[in-house]
Structure 1
């Protein structure tokens, strides 16, 4: 009967916190070198200007880990107003090269700039006549020498102890791609509203496009007159389920607000005759308000600043309803 032996390697005793700090310091130091390299030549600024003048797309390519970085840069460019496509350098020579049009601009990412796939791809790109930017660590590489623009991301060594696993180099390439995207964003004066149009889903998009009216119109509009008796106030607050009611004067203008907290405080005051209490006796004047066309994110900020759970919504300075903290919770804004 054979004996089964575990093949699980024994973990070495490692100071993991020291290793983690070393990796982060290595990569942070490399980014300072990349920042210095950006201003060492005019290529980065020329590249930005060329992309701004494009009528086509930015096609970002790479192989291996550089391909993953290329995909993220493409996502960032698309999300910030620069149309972009990802093309894997290996797939390009097997048909994907057809996605590149004459009006496009290619950014090729490679640490060494001398990988076999890049050496096959570059002559094909030059034959197409499209502008080529090389995002490389080796500024003397084949790719850099063939490119119209060199985006230099110098890396002395990888954070890997064997100087093998792409770590510092991919961080540097990603950061330089972010710098390119943000420069294009700012040059185009790409606004928060532009961003919202491209990111309608999720919490981020909602913060940039969801308005107070989008939420308050779904709610009931509790309101009473100044002379409404206490019973009517109680029924309005409990029936409309917003924890408050607006109090309007004879002309329909907002005179104040009564919350369930106001009611509790009133009852705790031991008034002699509750039958004589009117809305005007217990309202809070000048309640917190917000315009119906303002962003829901602004409503959240005002509630947090005042430590309250609802705001009176105004449209053309007239009462238009309530927005409640629960509305914002439901939309995932809190």
Structure 2
């Protein structure tokens, strides 16, 4: 028996079964989905998402997605709700209750308690005729014909359907809020996208290592400054104004073109009018300048005042690329 073939066929069948269930979800979208979305959007409270078992795990993921996309949400475990956690539900909150069957004992106990407070209840279930389906103000119909599980028992297609409906809800709310990538970055300041959209040059500039030499500095002094600051470059300053830069590449070219350099000073080998940036620009903008000009360092200056050197390696360390 070819176990590899058997395993791969099993995996393919599961993926195909789940994808089929998901594609068919569009047939079960009704005006309830739109109305529920509008109620959540216009709510002055939070969105409370509750469930039991595997649905509770899906509820937590939906909450995480909603929070990161501008819809304040909290997770309420259905079993814990009746033991005190129900106190987290506020009068203006909207509630989504997730249950495949809609008839579990915990749901039958919880739903009347939730409705007692007068909150809008949105049910996400595969059975619109279930207890949850009949008691909810609006239904998100997460119907699947069967599970990918060979015994049609383990939640597979059904939990994927719940997850996808949650994503559809989150995206619809994002569009209603005109939620942009800049907004997303605010909720993800530590991620690569957040850094790309929020991190400014001044936030990562090392002002303790600002290589600089005078125009008349000896080549030995230039080499020592480049080596000591370890940025592969030094700025050339005259009356605190940047008049040029010298890179380690400039040093190599000088050595190739001259048998001796005792007669040379910094201004003789510097590159005049180097590209420079303001410390308030985004690091992502600085990266574009580096890439477009095929260089690895940029001089940073504010109103003509030298602030330091931004190196490509510093950007790479931040994981922005």
TM-score strictly above 0.5: yes
Deviation at 1:60, TM superposition (A): 0.3
Q: TM-score, normalised by structure 2?
A: 0.88
Q: Does 1:310 align with 2:301?
A: no
Paired positions, count: 321
Which residue among 26, 29, 53 is the counterpart of 2:42? 53
Q: Does 1:169 align with 2:133?
A: no
Q: 1:111 to 1:259 in 2, by over 3 A?
A: same
SS at match of 1:15: helix
Q: Does 1:106 align with 2:95?
A: yes
Bigger mean CA deviation after superposition, 302-311 or 207-216: 302-311
Query: Any idea what the Cα deviations from partners look like across 1:221-248, whole Å, max 9, x if unmatched?
Result: 2223444432232122122221101234
SS at match of 2:143: coil
Where structure 1 has 5 or more consecutive residues not aligned to the other structure, the ranges are 1-10
Query: Any idea what the Cα deviations from partners look like across 1:136-173, whole Å, max 9, x if unmatched?
Result: 22233321222111112222221222221111111111
- Separation in structure 2 between the aligned mates of residue 288 and residue 169 of structure 1, nearest angstrom: 57
Which residue among 291, 296, 305 is the counterpart of 2:278? 291
Task: Tell me how large the CA RMSD over aligned residues is.
Answer: 2.7
**Correspondences of 1:121-270 after superposition (within 5 Å):** 121-248=110-237, 250=238, 252-269=240-257
- Separation in structure 2 between the aligned mates of residue 13 and residue 274 of structure 1, nearest angstrom: 69
Map of 2:12 onto structure 1: 21
Deviation at 1:194, TM superposition (A): 3.6
Q: 1:25 to 1:308 in 2, by over 3 A?
A: farther
- Separation in structure 1 between the aligned mates of residue 153 and residue 273 of structure 2, nearest angstrom: 66
Contact 1:313 1:321 in 2 (8 A): yes
Deviation at 1:202, TM superposition (A): 4.9
Q: 1:314 to 1:35 in 2, by over 3 A?
A: farther
- Separation in structure 2 between the aligned mates of residue 278 and residue 37 of structure 1, nearest angstrom: 78
Query: Any idea what the Cα deviations from partners look like across 1:68-107, whole Å, max 9, x if unmatched?
Result: 0001111122222221111111222222222212111000
- Separation in structure 2 between the aligned mates of residue 37 and residue 90 of structure 1, nearest angstrom: 28
Q: Does 1:276 align with 2:276?
A: no
Bigger mean CA deviation after superposition, 87-96 or 279-288: 279-288
Q: Does 1:32 align with 2:23?
A: yes
Q: 1:145 to 1:190 in 2, by over 3 A?
A: same
Where structure 2 has 5 or more consecutive residues not aligned to the other structure, the ranges are none
**Correspondences of 1:5-16 after superposition (within 5 Å):** 15-16=6-7
Bigger mean CA deviation after superposition, 178-187 or 130-139: 178-187
